[in-house]
Chains A and B, each alone.
Chain A
Amino acid sequence: MKDQFSEETKKLKKQYARTFHNDGLIDFFIGWALVSAGIYLYTNLMIFSFLGWMPILLVLPLKQRFVIPRFGYVKFSKPTKIPRGILIAAGLVLVIGSLLVALLSGESGFSTPIAVAVLGIALLLSIEVGLNRVTVYAVFVPLFFILGLGYSLLTPAAVILTGLVLMLLGIYLFLKFIQKYPADDEEEEEEEEDLS
Chain B
Amino acid sequence: MTDSDPLDPRKISDIDRLIHSPTRLKILLVLMSVEEADFTFISNAAELTRGNLSANLSKLKEAGYIKIEKKFIDRVPKTIASISEKGEQALEAYSNLLGAILDELRK
Which residues of A come within 8 Å of B, CB atoms?
Answer: 1-2, 4-5, 9-10, 12-13, 16, 64, 68-77, 181, 184, 188, 191-196
Cβ-Cβ contact count across A and B, 8 Å cutoff: 86
| Given A9-B29, A74-B38, A191-B54: A181 and B79 interface contact (C-beta under 8 Å) | no
Name the 3 nearest CB pairs between A and B, nearest first.
A72-B41, A72-B40, A77-B35
Which residues of B come within 8 Å of A, CB atoms?
Answer: 29-30, 32-45, 50-51, 54, 57-58, 61, 68-70, 73-74, 78-80, 92, 95-96, 99-100
> Measured between alpha carbons, how far is A38 from B57 in the docked complex, in Å?
52
> Measured between alpha carbons, how far is A172 from B44 in the docked complex, in Å?
21
| Given A73-B73, A195-B68: A188 and B38 interface contact (C-beta under 8 Å) | no
Chain A min CB distance to B71 (Å): 9
Q: Are B29 and A12 in touch, CB under 8 angstroms? A: yes
Q: Are A72 and B35 in touch, CB under 8 angstroms? A: no
Q: Are B73 and A196 in touch, CB under 8 angstroms? A: no
Q: Are B41 and A74 in touch, CB under 8 angstroms? A: yes
Q: Are A2 and B96 in touch, CB under 8 angstroms? A: yes
Q: Are A192 and B79 in touch, CB under 8 angstroms? A: yes
Give every chain B residue within 8 A of A1 (Cβ-Cβ).
95-96, 99-100
> Measured between alpha carbons, how far is A196 from B61 in the docked complex, in Å?
10
> Measured between alpha carbons, how far is A191 from B32 in the docked complex, in Å?
23
Q: Can you name 9 extra interface pairs (CB under 8 A) apart from A16-B34, A73-B37?
A: A1-B96, A1-B99, A2-B95, A4-B99, A12-B32, A64-B74, A73-B73, A76-B34, A196-B70
| Given A2-B96, A191-B54, A195-B61: A184 and B40 interface contact (C-beta under 8 Å) | yes
Q: Are B34 and A69 in touch, CB under 8 angstroms? A: no
> Measured between alpha carbons, how far is A5 from B93 in the docked complex, in Å?
11
Interface pairs (30), CB distance under 8 Å: A1-B96, A1-B99, A1-B100, A2-B92, A5-B92, A5-B95, A9-B33, A10-B33, A12-B29, A12-B30, A12-B32, A12-B33, A16-B30, A71-B40, A72-B45, A73-B37, A73-B41, A73-B80, A74-B37, A74-B38, A75-B35, A75-B36, A77-B35, A188-B50, A191-B50, A191-B51, A192-B54, A195-B57, A195-B61, A195-B68
